[in-house]
Chain A
Amino acid sequence: MILSRLRVIWTVFRLHLKQVAVNTFIIFAVIVQPLIVALLAIYLLRDTEGFQAIYVIVGSAMGGLWTGILHSSGYNIQSERWAGTLESIIGSPTQLATVIIGKTLANTAMSISSILFSYPMAAFLFGYRLTIAHPFSFTVSVLLTVLALVSLGLIIAPFMSVNIGGTIWTNMLEMPIYILGGFLFPISLLPGWTTPMSYALAPYWAARALHATSSGGVPIGDVFSSWGLLVGFCVLYWFISAWLFRVLLRQAREEATLGVQ
């Protein structure tokens, strides 16, 4: 059963990548937008005290990843609904969450590949060298970041099955997570009452780990604790997501929101 599920994820990943590779909106969201953010951020912050190009690059790359994942969780269900394929998925033995994981991973792969090209390009344009302080820990942090963002996306996705006009809500979530997650700016710049919200977000711990392993100057114990909290929150998110999928898909069948005429 696990093998069969992995096969579904792989097929969805492969075929979704084929489709999004020619979708101009996706290309803009995951390639052009992060590059613009990186260029603007370097331009604005380069004269500030303690500026590190790698901090800005990593932060805006996380923003790009988050946009891609948010898009997968929200817009993909809507587009399946409008294409008339959502009912075919729900009516099959495969769980919707499995399909969403495959699609989200495809968008993430596209974001990462674009980052590998566009961010060094941005640094090159401004004449900065990009050095990663702890390459191995950084790689682990990147993988855990993908896990954190995908897990958060899995909480958002089931809401789209009951909400036909729900894309507006996913669009509204883009910047708050970007800011509360401390992707590009430290959360110490935010009012104190927002800190608990940041702490409850797995992407915040991902950003902490990424910044610590790329910029350096942070004890490794701090990185380990970020990883641990990140994984802990991800497990919590999976339980919440599984419950939400069950409850909200039942509601979607009651409210007739799986298909549109």
Chain B
Amino acid sequence: MDAVIEVRDLKRIYRTKIGVLRRKVKEVLAVDGIDFSVSQGELFGLLGPNGAGKTTTIKMLTTLLTPTAGQARVLGYDVVQEASQIRPRIGFIFGGERGLYWRLSGYDNLVYFANLYHIPPDVRKRRISYLLELVGLEGREDEKVQGYSRGMKQRLHIARVLLHDPQVLFLDEPTMGLDPVGARELREAIRNLQTKEKTILLTTHYMFEADAMCQRIAVIDHGKIVALDTPSGLKRHVQDLSVLEIEMFGIPPEAMERVQALDGVDMLSVEDRDQKQALLVHSNDGSAAVAPVVSTLEGMGLRVGSVVVREPTLEDAYVRLVGGET
């Protein structure tokens, strides 16, 4: 199958000037020579922590940012030299509530963007009413966007991006800030798009989202792709491990250091769970690690709650790949 998106040794450096009199140029390497390709009809995920280079990559692919080095092609067109060929054929959403005209109604927003894509008036009318129904905003289209909930704004973004029926979609953290029900509905809508043979590049830092939706995932960290595989393939990176989850009420750094020093402990991470924390101990043999880890913690006078040994998830694979950052 032909590659719809092709990225070869792509690099982006941000240069900012600091200081008033003696201006210095500060360079930040945001994307550091990445390679990947996405096939026709594939839902491909870019997974990584904040600042890993996901949004920068999408901005280069959507022609909004010029790469410092390397090459990227979308639908066979070069993102720098042939940007005008790419723009009518793609759609993009950057996460969050921005990107809409809040003082206008949802309908007026769609009319505005439909015109930017030169959609004839008769097609536009049919398309807008179809999309309003698709995203569940029919009956609310005449209300001003400023009165919409976050989920409604995100759904309006989805309708906006589909107005010109693009072949390729770039969705940058589309479920960011949505409540669980809104996020689930949006994920369902995105999955439906994929059944319509759209090629989708999705960025997220929600592991379960990437696991549930993407056919392949590139894990990106500090501008580099540290792994690229199917979700099950990524999980195989940690199949030799099991995870010990210990519920605690405060974990001092010394406790982390002492547990990390124990035999058989591969790595540690901490998850916040309301007023409690979960210490996740990645170990070759989780069951065997229970006794020494718990006794170490209790020996330091720490209160230990429930203890569970479980199989590794995509999140565990991700944590291992990006070195504990989430």
Contacts and interface: CB of A to CB of B under 8 A. Distances in A.
Nearest to B56: A256
Contacts of B104: 15, 18-19
Measured as residues with beta carbon below 8 angstroms from the partner, the interface class of chain A is: 20 to 34
B116 A89 contact: yes
Interface string B74-98: 0000000000100110101010101
B112 A15 contact: yes
Contact of B101 (A4, A23, A85, A253): A85
A7 interface: yes
Nearest to A85: B99
A94 interface: yes
Interface in B59-85: 59, 62-66, 84
B103 interface: yes
Interface in A77-131: 83-85, 87-94, 99
Nearest to A18: B104
A88 to B, nearest CB: 6
B108 A87 contact: no
Contact of B64 (A19, A85, A258): A258
B14 A84 contact: no
Nearest to A253: B66
Given A15-B104, A19-B101, A92-B87, A84 B116 contact: no
Contacts of B90: 91
Contacts of B112: 11-12, 15
Nearest to B15: A255
B87 A84 contact: no
Contacts, number: 86
A183 to B, nearest CB: 31
Interface string A3-15: 0100110011001
B117 A256 contact: no
| Residue of A84, A88, A89 with most partner-chain B CB within 10 A | A88
Contact of B14 (A18, A88, A90, A256): A256
B116 A92 contact: yes
Nearest to A84: B98
Nearest to B98: A84
Interface string A245-260: 0000010011110110
A84 B64 contact: no
A91 B98 contact: no
Nearest to B97: A84
A245 to B, nearest CB: 13
Contact of B96 (A84, A87, A91, A258): A84
Measured as residues with beta carbon below 8 angstroms from the partner, the interface class of chain B is: 20 to 34
A253 B87 contact: no
A10 to B, nearest CB: 8
Contact of B66 (A89, A93, A254): A254
A22 interface: yes
A93 B87 contact: yes
A90 B83 CA distance: 10
A15 B113 contact: no
A114 B37 CA distance: 56
A46 to B, nearest CB: 41
A7 B88 CA distance: 17
Contacts of A259: 59, 64, 94
A239 B108 CA distance: 33
B98 A83 contact: yes
Contact of B115 (A8, A90, A254): A8
A93 B98 contact: no
Contacts of B111: 11, 15
Contacts of B99: 83-85, 87-88
A12 B116 CA distance: 9
B118 interface: yes
A180 B102 CA distance: 38
A11 B115 contact: yes
Interface in A166-220: none
Given A83-B98, A91-B90, A259-B59, 19 more contacts: A8-B118, A11-B112, A15-B101, A15-B108, A18-B108, A85-B99, A85-B100, A87-B59, A88-B99, A88-B160, A92-B87, A92-B88, A92-B113, A93-B116, A94-B115, A94-B116, A94-B117, A250-B66, A259-B94
18 contacts: A8-B116, A12-B112, A15-B111, A15-B112, A18-B104, A19-B103, A22-B103, A83-B99, A83-B100, A83-B101, A87-B99, A88-B113, A92-B88, A93-B118, A94-B116, A250-B66, A255-B15, A259-B59
Interface of B: 14-15, 59, 62-66, 84, 87-88, 90, 92, 94, 96, 98-104, 108, 111-113, 115-118, 121, 160
Closest A-B pairs by Cβ, 9 of them: A84-B98, A84-B99, A92-B116, A11-B115, A4-B118, A93-B88, A94-B116, A253-B66, A19-B103
